[in-house]
Amino acid sequence: MSELFSLFGKTALITGATRGIGLAIAREYGRAGAHLTISSESADDCDHAVATLTEEGIDAVALPADLREQEAVAALAARTLAHFGRLDALVCNAGVAPHMGPLASASDADWDLTLTVNLRSALWLTSALLPAMAEHGGGSVVLMASIAGVRGNKGLGLYGLSKAGLAQLARNLAVEWGPANIRVNAISPGVIRTEFARPLTDNPEVMQRRLALTPLRRVGRAEEVAALALLLAAPGGAFITGQNLIVDGGTTIGDGN
């Protein structure tokens, strides 16, 4: 393996890591040599993911946490640092989209759930972990945003607001923590073939329209997002910070031709 893409001896915490993009990132970080903390709200899902990764020769531990609760997030951060003694990479991948439709139709509960899990939990985690990361010479944070946060969307407006907030959080934290050698970036995927995206990918009419607007004429794979997340955490990405990197097959730049 090229040293540019090595995480040998590094430690990483990945939220939303039991399936889809999160599990793909965990797998690539593990293959690159990182020791992993796998987190999601389900203890069973965490254990299953850890068992799968362990069979592949990857060192991983399960630490479930409900990101709706600030105390649970603080405990996740503390237990991660207690287990590893340090943290070199953080991936905030957990996300929810409980509301579909116009913004005005979203309930207060929809707003609270979406903004807490997608945005506030990332702030809670970074606030708890970046000081320790800085003490050990720096590291990398990847916040999983979305192309729903870079353009308007009739159905995913609330989700898009939370993801736009994550991209801005990456920029702010990059400025705040850059002098401590901590890099913070966002990744904005388009439609990726995961369980989370099935409401889109299982709808032929929606997919026909979407793919017609996507120059590469296909949906993405979780591994294609994970490869970028690996670069951002590895030495090869050491001069990239404060960016929102779009992985969408060209959807956001296409003109429909």
Catalytic residue numbers, as ranges? 159
The DSSP H or E segment spanning 20 is helix 20-31
183, 197, 199, 196: which is closest to 236 by C-alpha? 183
Say which residue the tokens 């254990």 belong to. 47
**Looking at residue 128, what DSSP letter applies?**
H
Max intra-chain CA distance, the chain: 53
48 neighbors 19 (Cβ within 8 angstroms)? no
Supply φ then ψ for residue 120, to 5 degrees: -65, -35
Burial of 68 from C-beta contacts in 10 A (0-12 / 13-18 / 19+): middle
Query: Strand, helix or coil at 144?
Result: strand
11-15 vs 89-92, strand pairing mode = parallel
Q: How far apart are CA 119 and CA 167, in angstroms?
A: 10
**Looking at residue 190, what DSSP letter applies?**
-
Query: Strand, helix or coil at 131?
Result: helix
One-letter amino acid of 53: L
The DSSP H or E segment spanning 125 is helix 121-135
Q: How many CA atoms lie within 13 A of 96 on its CB side?
A: 19
